[in-house]
Structure 1
Amino acid sequence: MQTKKVVLWGLGIFVAYTIIHSPARSAELVQIGFQGISDAAMNIGEFMTQLVS
C-alpha cells in the first residue's frame, strides 16, 4: 500500500511541475485528450445507431 501512495504522490508532483513549467503545452495535451474521448464517444454512438437501424 505504501508503494501505491509514493507512486501517486510522484505522479502528482510530476503533473504539477509539467503544468507550471509549460502551461500552454499542458493545455494542448488536455485538449487533444478530450478531443479523442469526444471522437470515440461519437463513433460509438454512430455504431450503435447503425446497429438499431
Structure 2
Amino acid sequence: MAQAKKVVLWMLVVFVLYTIIKTPERAADLVQIGFQGISDAADSIGEFMTELIS
C-alpha cells in the first residue's frame, strides 16, 4: 500500500510540473480557481456560523 501511495504521489508531481511547464497560464488559472473556491467556502462557513449565533 505504501508503494502505491508513493507511485501516485510521483505521478501527481510529474503531472503538476508538466502542466506548469507546458501551459503556465492554465496552471495559474487553476490555482486561482482553487483559491477562489477556498475563499468562497470560508465565506459560506462564516455566514453559517453567523446565522447560528443570530
TM-score for both structures, normalised by structure 1: 0.92
- Per-residue CA deviation, residues 4-53 of structure 1 (Å, 9 max, x unaligned), is 11111111011100100000000001101100110110011011001101
Separation in structure 2 between the aligned mates of residue 7 and residue 47 of structure 1, nearest angstrom = 36
The number of residues matched between the two structures is: 53
1:3 Cα offset (Å): 1.7
When the two chains are superposed, the root-mean-square deviation of aligned CA atoms in Å is: 0.7
Does residue 24 of structure 1 match 2:30? Answer: no
Separation in structure 2 between the aligned mates of residue 31 and residue 24 of structure 1, nearest angstrom = 11
TM-score for both structures, normalised by structure 2: 0.90
Unaligned runs of 5+ in 1: none
Code of the aligned partner of 1:16: L
Partner of 2:13: 12
Q: Aligned residues: percent identity? A: 72
Secondary structure of 1:50 counterpart: helix
Unaligned runs of 5+ in 2: none
